[in-house]
Structure 1
Amino acid sequence: MTSVDATGRPLRLLLVDDEAGFADVLARRLARRGLRVQVAGSGREAVRILRRADFDVAVVDLKMEGMDGIELLRIVKAMVPELPVILFTGHGSERATRQGLALGAFDSLLKPCELDELLGKIRQAAAQGAPA
């Protein structure tokens, strides 16, 4: 599977996580697999980025200081309803995950997960979110 959209352009991923070290390492690993990754260290930063750039998929940490992943998901779905959002959590909150899926998240993953598993979800989400 490739990390490009239907036009051959690299998939654009918004990665939102307040654990800077984790986010930077993950962004570099995903970029080496052909994705164009923009990192946001908070929900507020993610909203600012979304106002000026388009993405194919967002991967959002559930547990963040300030604006949590559920609150950010609500805002993203209001701003860009067609943007697939994958929730990412290291804390395994089943209730929050169910809430996120009910609010329109594409899927959720526990972190850390295998890079290939995350890439597969990102590609599935991008394919589903692509205009017909």
Structure 2
Amino acid sequence: AYEAMPRPYGAARAAEAEAAALLELGEREEAARIVADAAERYATLGATHDAARCRHKLRQIGVGAPPRKARKAPGGGLSPREREVAGLVAQGRTNREIAEVLFLSRRTVDTHVARVLQKLGVRSRNDVILPS
């Protein structure tokens, strides 16, 4: 029904609920397929936290997260994950907060932040401006 409205965010949320029900019924593979689709929908909508939650759920199910379309940006730009991190840094989030939002370890976030600063050529996280 959400698809027909069109309400893509609502459709992705409904898909997550469907996947949860399928998991309860033991339909692991179908649930994983639906969660992976929801993660892709969220990523397309720019719903970073929701996409990260789906990838985290896929890891819990025991299925790898869907591969990202472009891990490395052409010309040495920011990767998709680094863009997510840079956006959160620009919002003033701490590394701990970023780790919680993206379901990553703090150490991984430290590495991403360091790479973002290096690639953007800035010395401080206060100088990070949301990439376009």
Q: Same fold (TM over 0.5)?
A: no
| TM-score of the two chains, using structure 1 as the length reference | 0.29
* Larger strand proportion of the pair: 1
